[in-house]
Chain A
């Protein structure tokens, strides 16, 4: 239902009633504004009071209750016994000369690098048995002729050299 369902007489009466003004209140405006200001800050003050009380309680508890020693974790490292370690232990220690010398061919790169950085290039030794290796024949310039399509060309033949 809407207000336009009112009869004209009802509308006229509503208009007449609207012309009346409610009596002035006896509420003191200044008192109300003062009380309102106090009420708005009261909540903040209470929050601070609560916070302070909690902090004081924590402080008292911290002072009264002795602190317990906290359990500490200690890590102990033990050498692990691996299956190949006995053989390593049984091998005789190398002589200082052997220990210092790093074979040029067999050494790994890292080992070689560390040795060179620590003791200089003198530590490098030539390969133990160079004779064991098969000599690689170096081709003579005459052998280049006819070896391939480009090597046999005139510009790069041995005769021109």
Chain B
């Protein structure tokens, strides 16, 4: 699945989005662990980021639908 990146996460990865293979029905928690292992440079930031599934904050136990749009959201700083 594709994960959209923003702010420092995008700068660290050098890309707007990254791909990660996860089994169907994987949860946000599993995605978080898999990403941190696959992209160690992002691990520290991933730990304190939220995930959005279809533009809504997702809980750790939420299963990710196969067609969902996923985004990694580092702590926000608007305003």
* A and B part of one assembly: no
Residues of B within 8 A of A (CB): none
Residues of A within 8 A of B (CB): none
